[in-house]
Structure 1
Amino acid sequence: MFTVAETILIERDRAAVFAYLTDPANRSRWDTSVISEEITSEPPVRPGTTLRTRMRVMGREVEYDWRVTHFEPPIVMAARSSAGIMPTTLRFDFSERGEACHVRAEIEASPGGMLRFVEPVVADTVRSTLAQGLARAKAQLEA
């Protein structure tokens, strides 16, 4: 199992940052590993909502199904995978820093099977993708 966390300060108000980063329609705009993400249960997003994400991971397409476990705008959003290549949890925390928003994103995953043998590579890839995605979101939100 590994945990990666990244933080970033975005010069926008917390509500706008929360809305952008937690909207499934925006995910592929800021996370380049995501092909698409959609709500698979009755909208709006709330605890219990299910999502499906199509991703490019280590050169291949995979799907993840998620269940939102915590959704408290504009403070926190968390989800746990219910299907995918490895059990994964995702959490975003949003806090005000003056007129800006500090975002902390954490991903915890448990590679199994053959992925266990390359776990450090998987963790580095996840960390890099997360950092790049947050930087891309920052650029989009501050433009």
Structure 2
Amino acid sequence: MAHAENEVTINRPATEVFAFLADGLNNPKWRTGVQSIALKEGVAGESGAVYSQTLTGPKGRPLQGDYKITDAQPGRLLAFQVVAGPARPVGRYALTETGDGTRVHFSLDLKLPVLMRVLDSLVTKTMESEVAQLRNLKEIIEAG
């Protein structure tokens, strides 16, 4: 299984961090590979919401990466499943209030089919790059 995780502390309350993360329309502000995004169905930031997302794929080609929010616990947890595209990881943002703000732990997991396991290290690198963007999230939210 391909796995990546990262953690950052953001100097803002957990409810504010959650609200920003839960609104998928904020993704282009901090995730460099997001070309476009729209709420496809459901209520923004709630379980069941589906976002249609176009990402920058290999060689700059557009790639679908639609995702569905599978669990939304304001101020605590936001989980999702990618539902379109060649790779369909599950991810979660676990939020914990600290004395200095909110610790955000972001993890991605992808079970690769047997025939694609030779790509495990490449997929893991891509996922590691994605979770590393938490530093961008911190900068954007703290800048207000």
TM score, norm. by length of structure 1:
0.89
Tell me which amino acid in the other structure corresponds to 2:45: V
Gaps of 5+ in 1: none
Distance 2:55 2:98 in 1: 32
Tell me which amino acid in the other structure corresponds to 2:106: A
Runs of 4+ displaced beyond 4 Å: 112-115
The alignment-based identity, stated in percent, is 24
Gaps of 5+ in 2: none
Alignment CA distance shift 1:112-1:33 (3 Å): farther
Tell me which amino acid in the other structure corresponds to 2:123: V
Contact 1:7/1:104, CA 8 A, preserved across alignment: yes
Distance 1:70 1:34 in 2: 22
Tell me which amino acid in the other structure corresponds to 2:119: V
1:94 match: 95
Tell me which amino acid in the other structure corresponds to 1:52: S
Distance 1:81 1:11 in 2: 29
Q: Deviations over 1:87-127 (max 9, x none)?
A: 21011111100140000001111344875322202211221
Q: Deviations over 1:60-90 (max 9, x none)?
A: 3210222211011111111112221122101
1:20 match: 20
Distance 1:128 1:102 in 2: 19
Q: Does 1:53 align with 2:33?
A: no
**Residue 103 of structure 2: SS of its match in structure 1?**
strand
TM score, norm. by length of structure 2:
0.88
Contact 1:31/1:130, CA 8 A, preserved across alignment: no
Q: How many residues align?
A: 142
